[in-house]
Amino acid sequence: MNERDALRTLAADLPHAGDDAAVVGDTVITTDMLHERTDFPVGTTRYTAGWRAVAASLSDVAAMGADATAAVAVYADASFDGNDLDRFVAGAVDVCEAVDAEYVGGDLDTHTEFTTASTAIGDVTDEGVVTRSGASPGDALCVTGEWGRSAAALRLFERGRDDEAGAGERGREGGKRGRDIERANDLFRFTPRVADGLVLAGRATAMMDSSDGLARSLHQLAEASDVGFALDRDAVPVHPAVEALADDPGERFELTAHFGEDFELVCAIPEPKLDRARAACPGGLTRVGTVADTADGVTADGDSLPDRGYTHGS
C-alpha cells in the first residue's frame, strides 16, 4: 500500500485528511518525515537537511494560503555530532526566517539512520484557506516558480559522487566535484512559497504543493475537485539548471513534470482574477493550462498525462 492508498483508507475516520495541512480553528498544522536513504543524497549537508526538512512543512502551510508562524523538528541519528546538529538547526532557523516564521525547537532521538520529522503551523487569514477541492472547468491552471530544480540537484549529487569515485583513476582534482555538490545543495534549499500562497488565498479555487511532481499533483487535484486538466507542456517554466542538464525536450519534460520534490504551488484561478494574481505573486505565476471537464481527464497537449511521480511506499 502506498501513501495515496493509505490516505484513502484513513479518509473515513479522518475526514480532513487529504489536503496539504489540517485546519483547526484559525490554525493550519502539518507534519513531514524525511530519511537519509530516501531523501538526502550523499553530499547533502546538515544545513541543507535542516532547511529542506522544515521547508517541506512550510510549503504545506503555503499551499493552504495560510501565513506560516512557527516550526519544530525532530532530529534523530545513530549518534550526535555537535557540529552536524548545529548546522541542521541553523538551516531550520534560516528557512523559517526566509518566510517570516520562527523555528522554536523540537526533539532529539537516536535512530539507525539520520531521520527528521518537522511540523509547521500557520494562521488562517481573512481570505480563508484554499483546499484541493474547489476547481471548476474553465479556471486557469497555474504554477509558481520554475520546475525541475530538485531533479537537477539529484543529477549534480550523482555527478559529484561519480567524480569522486573516478578521481584517482582519471587524475581529476576535487574542485569539480566540490562545485557540483555545492550547487546541488543550493538547489535543494528551496524557498517555500508562503508569500505566494497568501496572494492566492481568496483568488485560487484549489491549490496544493508539488512535492509529488506536477503530473501527480494534477491527478490529485483532479480527483479532489472532480475535474480534468489540459496542460500545455511548453508553458511549464523550466529551471535553468534543468536546461543545462537535460539532453532533449522529452527528458526536460520528464524532469519538470514527473520527478517531483520541487515544492512549487499548483492552483486553479478563475479567469477574472488571473491578471492581478499574476502581478502580485513574488515567486512568479505562470498559466500552464486550463481546468477541463472530468470526462476529459488529465492531458498534456491533448495526450493522456500519466499519473506518475513521487510516491511514498511505492
Q: Say if residue 39 carries a ligand binding annotation.
A: yes
Whole-prediction pTM: 0.92
Q: Say if residue 234 carries a ligand binding annotation.
A: no
Q: Is the pLDDT of residue 206 over 50?
A: yes
pLDDT of 151: 96
Q: How far apart are CA 139 and CA 232, in angstroms?
A: 14
Looking at domain 20-123, which CATH architecture does it have?
A: 2-Layer Sandwich (3.30)
C-alpha cell at 193: 512559497
> Residues 23-44: what's their mean pLDDT?
96
Q: Say if residue 261 carries a ligand binding annotation.
A: yes
Q: Say if residue 310 carries a ligand binding annotation.
A: yes
Q: Say if residue 193 carries a ligand binding annotation.
A: no
Q: Say if residue 94 carries a ligand binding annotation.
A: no
At residue 177 the predicted structure's pLDDT band, cuts being 50, 70 and 90, is: confident
> Residues 21-25: what's their mean pLDDT?
94
Parallel, antiparallel, or unpaired for β 27-35 and 115-123? antiparallel
Q: Say if residue 296 carries a ligand binding annotation.
A: no
Q: Domains of the chain: which residue ranges? A: 20-123, 140-152+191-304, 153-187
Q: How far apart are CA 26 and CA 99, in angstroms?
A: 19
Q: Say if residue 210 carries a ligand binding annotation.
A: no
Buried b (16+ CB within 10 A) or exposed e, 222-253: bbbbebbbbbebeebbbbebbeebbeeeeebb
Q: Say if residue 126 carries a ligand binding annotation.
A: no
> Residues 212-221: what's their mean pLDDT?
97
Q: Is the pLDDT of residue 167 over 60?
A: no
Q: Say if residue 91 carries a ligand binding annotation.
A: no
pLDDT of 231: 98
Q: How far apart are CA 125 and CA 16, in angstroms?
A: 19
Q: What topology is assigned to 140-152+191-304 in CATH? A: Phosphoribosyl-aminoimidazole Synthetase; Chain A, domain 2 (3.90.650)
| 146 contact partners, CB below 8 Å, separation of at least 6 | 237, 238, 239, 240, 264, 284
**Interval 82-92: pLDDT, tens:** 999 999 999 99
Q: Count of alpha carbons within 13 Å of 283, Cβ hemisphere only?
A: 25
Find the range with the poorest average confidence among 9-13, 20-24, 91-95, 267-271: 9-13
**Interval 273-284: pLDDT, tens:** 999 999 999 999
127 neighbors 33 (Cβ within 8 angstroms): no
Q: Say if residue 107 carries a ligand binding annotation.
A: yes
Could you tell me the CA-to-CA distances from 306 to 234, 254, 274 in Å, in that order? Answer: 17, 11, 27
Q: Say if residue 9 carries a ligand binding annotation.
A: no
Find the range with the poorest average confidence among 14-18, 150-154, 260-264, 275-279: 14-18
**Interval 120-139: pLDDT, tens:** 999 999 999 999 999 999 99
Which position has the grid cell 495526450?
Answer: 303
